[in-house]
């Protein structure tokens, strides 16, 4: 420090306020120059204190910036920054033994407090003016003070790390430093709230100053997020208030992404902290102790969560046109919050008092957030994107988000409805699904939630208590409500989405789409219902017999026919007459009793007549295997007809019994083992016979059991064995005459025993069910004991009948199992999706009548060789077994000659082979 400066400072400190006022013009420039030139911190601190304490009160508002603030404040900030760096550099050697270093650090902290005190003096002086200052008139003040505040708060926040376990040596000064900074910020924000803009200043200058203040406050918010709740909230309040106060000036210059992203982060942080505190309170049993520190902290944290949620919603409302790039962040925020609430499977469970606080803090604001985002196209593109890949815990929140959108669209203008309902229309658009399709796809991916099941609040009904319902029920009600108010322009999109949902592989999603489709048909006109039924019937004709699409469409068709008017049901008969073989697949899926009496009798007679004609043609053609396909086409509709009958004595039942008896007497067990087409016939016959078993003759039942024995021993396809179990179970309804019991009952016991011992979990479970049904109603109790000769089988049956649970699965284990199942089923469904023909829906509206069934492909020569050799081998083995079983009885005299003829034929076949 120069001698001149020292003498001047020594002289000035002796002056009175009046002398300072008189010498202001002469001395203040010297002091500011000395301050700028000074490299000594103590000298600078002394000069700064003299200026702020003795000369600042005498400077007018119009001269503050140019004469004082612009000269002394930037230097004060630089000195403060250099002190902070020195503090960070020296603190590594701090210890209680190093008193010299401890004294140095304490002196640095005290000097930093003096700088903050000088800055506070600047704020206090500005506040003494009655005139509201312009921002340009004090522009150095907020910029410099905010820089000091950010560094101070950051140092206090990191103090535990910075002081390496020796925080107690300086804790008192750090607390004082924080209090001084806290008070300084409060004064600054109060001042900035009062200031106005200078109309004479350039707009660019004003905008730059305001934006700088807002962004500096944002930087402070990043620092103090975990430091002090009240300080953090007040800083954010002021930031948003200033952004809105000068919205027209600053909206194009603000860092909207940083502001919105930090609001989202703060919301999530406070929300997760609230959830953790609630879990701690619940575990400790303190939910009733509302005066406990833990409960009070929980309330404060939940209040912060609610504050950030409301602030974010307000900010989006005012600046939504500048936030379109950040819709992905808002979408993730929504999913993360919703995933922590029931019915999400990963949501914690809390008492009602804690849950209500969390609901108000985070769950309720999510609806308001969604309302603000609905009109934004980028938000729809994020939510409705085609290949949206989410973590398993976010699948249900995504589904609930889509359902919430559905409910909120009712109050939206037409352009917003089109945006959500129609999906992307042009190639240049970002691909997005229609909302209905997205809901069905999302529901399909909620496999674990459907199985647990996840429960949601049902719709409030007048005079009834609100109950929890399944996810299916919840979505179905809201989909139907949406359909009831749907804009006519969106109806074609709904129809396409329903068709897609019915034709996808997941059965439960199909059931949901079927429910919505039936509501649409009931709510709409009778003509609409007719149109849809005719469309579905045409799709049924187009499907192949082994496709899951046929099963789904058949279910839909069966329900839709109930909703038709009698006249329109007659129209269906005219459009798809059951007298034509190609239309029988349609009638297989229709419950005949849903039709009026006249129409029902006509359909029954047509089906019986056509089935009998098909059987007669097959007989007249020599029972050729190539004609069995036509028989198989007729049998399903015969099955549908029999299922719809209430009395076993009705004429159509007797006619069906006659047809079935003819087929059973013609069926050869060994041929069934060899030819898949006959196995299909057998499966259908077993299903029909299970309904007609009371009227069947014992010799026919015996023939059925022989055929079943042949396929059980051969381990045929599961669906055939399931049909066999259905028939075996139905035998409990009938009494076998004594003269036939020796032929039927032992074979029945043997079949039950074999099927109950099967290792396939599917067959084993169905075997238990079938055996239990048989045992419950049969009069032949000896079959029960004879079927359980094996002790292991007997134990399993007893456990099943007594409903013994082998192992209790806890909720966590079940959830993990369901997640693994979901992956397997998803892969299976994805593979099945490739089986649907892209022309399927187009075929439904084509003018030309499609082929009722794909043309039968001719087998290759090698396959024919294999089939005939297998047939011959099976016949010879059966003949060999017959001769061994009847050694006491001589064979017929013609057997030797016939065997010699076969030997000659085999020699001729061998000789006719081409040489290789």
Cis status, amide bond into 453, omega within 30 of 0 = yes
pLDDT at 892 over 80: no
What is the phi/psi pair of residue 227, to 5°? -100, -50
Cβ neighbours of 708 (radius 10 Å): 25
What is the C-alpha separation between 152 and 140, in angstroms, rounded?
A: 18
Residue 621: which residues within 8 A CB-CB, separation 6 or more?
Answer: 627
Measured over the CA atoms of residue 317, residue 323, residue 324 and residue 327, the dihedral's sign is negative
pLDDT at 751 over 50: yes
What is the phi/psi pair of residue 892, to 5°? -60, 150
Long-range contacts of 507-512 (CB under 8 A, 24+ apart): 507/548, 507/551, 507/552, 508/443, 508/444, 508/450, 508/472, 509/440, 509/443, 509/444, 510/552, 510/555, 510/556, 511/472, 511/555, 512/440, 512/443, 512/472, 512/475, 512/476, 512/479
* 457: Cα separation from own chain's centroid: 18
- pLDDT tens-digit series, residues 157-215: 988 888 887 888 889 999 999 999 999 999 999 999 988 776 555 678 888 889 999 99
What is the C-alpha separation between 49 and 120, in angstroms, rounded?
A: 11
- pLDDT tens-digit series, residues 610-641: 999 999 999 888 888 888 999 999 999 999 88
pLDDT at 443 over 90: yes
What is the C-alpha separation between 70 and 74, in angstroms, rounded?
A: 7
The mean pLDDT of 473-499, rounded to a whole number, is 94
pLDDT at 915 over 50: no
Determine the pLDDT at residue 433. Answer: 95
- pLDDT tens-digit series, residues 752-781: 999 999 888 899 999 999 999 999 999 999
- pLDDT tens-digit series, residues 425-434: 888 888 999 9
Flag the least confident range among 133-142, 291-300, 337-346, 859-868. 859-868
Per-residue pLDDT band for 843 (boundaries 50, 70, 90) equals very low
The mean pLDDT of 572-579, rounded to a whole number, is 94
Residue 255: which residues within 8 A CB-CB, separation 6 or more?
Answer: 215, 218
The mean pLDDT of 215-242, rounded to a whole number, is 94
Cβ neighbours of 211 (radius 10 Å): 19
CA atoms within 13 A on the CB side of 102: 12
pLDDT at 842 over 60: no
Flag the least confident range among 363-367, 708-712, 722-726, 804-808. 804-808
The mean pLDDT of 704-727, rounded to a whole number, is 89
CA atoms within 13 A on the CB side of 861: 0
Determine the pLDDT at residue 283. Answer: 87
Percent of the chain with pLDDT over 70: 92
Determine the pLDDT at residue 167. Answer: 86
Six-digit token string for 738: 């004594």
pLDDT at 853 over 50: no
Cis status, amide bond into 886, omega within 30 of 0 = no
Torsion of Cα atoms, 576 then 578 then 579 then 582, to 10°: 70
pLDDT at 706 over 70: yes
Over the chain, what is the mean pLDDT?
Answer: 87
The secondary element (H helix, E strand) that includes residue 867 is helix 861-885
Per-residue pLDDT band for 148 (boundaries 50, 70, 90) equals very high
Determine the pLDDT at residue 838. Answer: 45
Determine the pLDDT at residue 848. Answer: 29
Six-digit token string for 515: 């429910």
């Amino acid at each position: 420090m120069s001698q001149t400066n020292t003498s001047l400072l020594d002289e000035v400190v002796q002056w009175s306020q009046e002398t300072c006022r008189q010498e202001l013009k002469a001395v203040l420039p010297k002091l500011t120059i000395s301050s700028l030139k000074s490299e000594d911190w103590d000298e600078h601190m002394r000069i700064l204190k003299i200026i702020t304490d003795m000369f600042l009160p005498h400077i007018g508002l119009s001269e503050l910036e140019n004469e004082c603030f612009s000269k002394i404040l930037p230097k004060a900030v630089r000195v403060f920054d250099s002190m902070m760096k020195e503090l960070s550099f020296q603190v590594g050697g701090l210890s209680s033994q190093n008193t010299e270093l401890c004294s140095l650090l304490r002196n640095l902290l005290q000097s930093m407090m003096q700088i903050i005190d000088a800055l506070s003096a600047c704020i206090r002086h500005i506040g003494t003016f009655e005139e509201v200052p312009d921002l340009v008139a004090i522009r150095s003040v907020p910029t410099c003070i905010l820089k000091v505040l950010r560094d101070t708060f950051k140092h206090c926040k990191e103090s535990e790390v910075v002081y390496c376990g020796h925080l107690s040596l300086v804790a008192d000064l750090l607390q004082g430093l924080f209090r001084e900074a806290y008070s300084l910020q409060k004064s600054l924000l109060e001042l900035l709230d009062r200031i106005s803009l200078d109309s004479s200043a350039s707009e660019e200058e004003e905008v730059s100053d305001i934006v700088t203040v807002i962004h500096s406050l944002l930087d402070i918010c990043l620092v103090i997020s975990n430091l002090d709740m009240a300080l953090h909230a007040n800083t954010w309040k002021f930031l948003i208030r200033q952004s809105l106060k000068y919205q027209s000036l600053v909206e194009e210059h603000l860092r909207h992404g940083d502001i919105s992203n930090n609001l989202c982060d703060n919301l999530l942080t406070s929300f997760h902290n609230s959830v953790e505190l609630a879990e701690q309170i619940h575990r400790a049993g303190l939910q009733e102790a509302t005066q406990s520190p833990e409960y009070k902290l929980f309330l404060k944290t939940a209040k912060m969560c609610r504050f950030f949620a409301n602030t974010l919603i307000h900010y989006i409302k005012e600046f939504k046109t500048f936030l379109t790039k950040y819709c992905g962040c808002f979408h993730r925020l929504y999913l993360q919050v919703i995933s922590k609430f029931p019915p999400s499977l990963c949501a914690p469970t809390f008492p009602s008092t804690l849950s209500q606080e969390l609901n108000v803090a985070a769950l309720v604001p999510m609806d308001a957030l969604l309302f603000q985002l609905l009109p934004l196209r980028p938000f729809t593109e994020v939510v409705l994107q085609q290949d949206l890949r989410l973590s398993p815990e976010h699948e249900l929140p995504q589904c609930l988000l889509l359902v919430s959108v559905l409910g909120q669209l009712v109050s939206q203008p037409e352009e917003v409805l089109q945006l959500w309902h129609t999906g992307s229309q042009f190639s240049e658009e970002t691909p997005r699904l229609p909302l209905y399709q997205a809901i069905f796809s999302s529901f399909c991916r909620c496999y674990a939630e459907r199985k647990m099941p996840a429960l949601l609040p049902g719709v409030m009904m007048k005079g009834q208590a609100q109950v929890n319902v399944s996810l299916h029920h919840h979505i179905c009600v809201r989909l139907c409500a949406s359909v009831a108010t749907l804009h006519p322009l969106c109806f074609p999109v709904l129809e396409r989405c329903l068709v897609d949902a019915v034709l996808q592989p997941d059965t439960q999603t199909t059931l949901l789409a079927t429910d919505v489709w039936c509501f649409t048909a009931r709510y709409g006109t009778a003509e609409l219902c007719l149109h849809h039924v005719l469309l579905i019937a045409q799709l049924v004709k187009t499907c192949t017999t082994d496709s899951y699409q046929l099963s789904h469409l058949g279910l839909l068709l069966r329900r839709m026919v109930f909703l038709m008017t009698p006249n329109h049901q007659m129209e269906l008969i005219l459009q798809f007459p059951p007298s034509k073989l190609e239309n029988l697949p349609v009638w297989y899926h229709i419950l005949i009793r849903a039709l009026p009496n006249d129409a029902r009798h006509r359909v029954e007679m047509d089906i019986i007549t056509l089935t009998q004609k098909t059987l007669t043609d097959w007989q007249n053609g020599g029972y050729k295997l190539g004609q069995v396909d036509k028989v198989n086409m007729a049998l399903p509709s015969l099955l549908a007809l029999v299922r719809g009958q209430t009395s076993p004595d009705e004429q159509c039942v007797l006619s069906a019994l006659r047809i079935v008896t003819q087929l059973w007497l013609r069926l050869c067990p060994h041929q069934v083992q060899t030819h898949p087409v006959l196995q299909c016939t057998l499966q259908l016959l077993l299903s029909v016979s299970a309904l007609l078993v009371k009227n069947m003759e014992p010799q026919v039942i015996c023939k059925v059991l022989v055929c079943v024995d042949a396929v059980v021993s051969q381990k045929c396809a599961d669906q055939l064995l399931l049909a066999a179990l259905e028939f075996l179970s139905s035998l409990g309804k009938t009494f076998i005459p004594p003269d036939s019991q020796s032929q039927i009952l032992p074979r029945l016991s043997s079949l039950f025993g074999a099927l109950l011992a099967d290792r396939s979990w599917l067959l084993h479970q169905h075997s238990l069910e079938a055996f239990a049904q048989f045992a419950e109603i049969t009069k032949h109790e000896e079959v029960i004991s004879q079927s359980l000769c094996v002790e292991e089988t007997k134990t399993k049956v007893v456990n099943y009948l007594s409903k013994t649970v082998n192992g209790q699965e806890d909720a966590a284990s079940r959830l993990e199992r369901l997640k693994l199942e979901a992956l397997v089923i998803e892969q299976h469904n994805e593979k099945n999706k490739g089986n649907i023909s892209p022309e399927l829906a187009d075929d439904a509206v084509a003018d030309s009548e499609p082929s009722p069934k794909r043309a039968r492909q001719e087998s290759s020569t090698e396959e024919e060789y294999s089939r005939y050799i297998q047939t011959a081998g099976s016949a010879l083995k059966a003949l060999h077994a017959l001769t061994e079983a009847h050694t006491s009885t001589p064979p017929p005299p013609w057997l030797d000659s016939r065997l010699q003829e076969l030997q000659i034929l085999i020699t001729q076949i061998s000789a006719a082979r081409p040489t290789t």
